[in-house]
Structure 1
């Protein structure tokens, strides 16, 4: 399936303008620093662009800022998660303030998720 060139360009631009939480998480996940897993950032799962993705475990990591707390955003995120889960992707969501203020708690939770997925993957 060919990916829309505009979506590719948008994903590229998103990689260049990350939030502080995305930047911190990328420093942890990049270059197999976390559990020796190769994550991608701003990865396209058409029609969406997910924050982080690990193909071998079908894992999506989404980081949410305060604007995700509005009713419209909650509904949108629920639909998006439902779509991704219908593709057999596991979605882990963290708030930006958790990533920035409780990094160790977020990484411990993510470690548990990855460990469980590794145990059940073929």
Structure 2
């Protein structure tokens, strides 16, 4: 099995790819960076299982790939990459750049569906009062 660890060369390549994102990748990154989408943490051009993926949500073990036309010529290679990522425990969602830029909700809805219902993080006070609708926090029944 190929090396699953990150090498200095892969790290340099990931850094270069971060500075050379496609327009679709830039748009997606603007939508999800800084936990803007569903409070999920995404990384761009992230090393995973010895590969560099377009976007990674470690919490969901989810990889998002936004593909341009060149991928029409790389279907077998992409299938092998997807298989390797699945073996490492990741789900891969692959979309065409033009499908995403025409309708970004295609990708966002797929992420929501994959995430399923999520629990709210615990309130720092240890209380669940932050989950109650306004006006019910201090009321007694």
User: TM-score range, shorter-chain basis?
Assistant: 0.7 to 0.9
The question of 1:43 aligning with 2:46 is answered yes
What is the CA distance between 1:39 and its match in structure 2? Answer: 0.6
Q: Which runs of 4+ in 1 moved over 6 A?
A: none
TM-score (norm 2): 0.76
Alignment check: 8 A CA contact 2:49 2:84 kept: no
- Per the alignment, residue 105 of structure 2 pairs with 104
- Structure 1 vs Structure 2 CA RMSD: 1.7
Q: State the aligned residue count.
A: 116
Gaps of 5+ in 1: none
Matches of 1:99 and 1:115, distance apart in 2: 21
- Per the alignment, residue 135 of structure 2 pairs with none
What is the CA distance between 1:47 and its match in structure 2? Answer: 2.4
What is the CA distance between 1:2 and its match in structure 2? Answer: 5.5
Matches of 1:14 and 1:6, distance apart in 2: 12
Alignment check: 8 A CA contact 2:62 2:92 kept: yes
Alignment of 1:1-122 (within 5 A): 3-70=6-73, 73-115=74-116
Gaps of 5+ in 2: 120-141
TM-score (norm 1): 0.88
What is the CA distance between 1:106 and its match in structure 2? Answer: 2.4
Alignment check: 8 A CA contact 2:54 2:63 kept: yes
What is the CA distance between 1:104 and its match in structure 2? Answer: 2.2
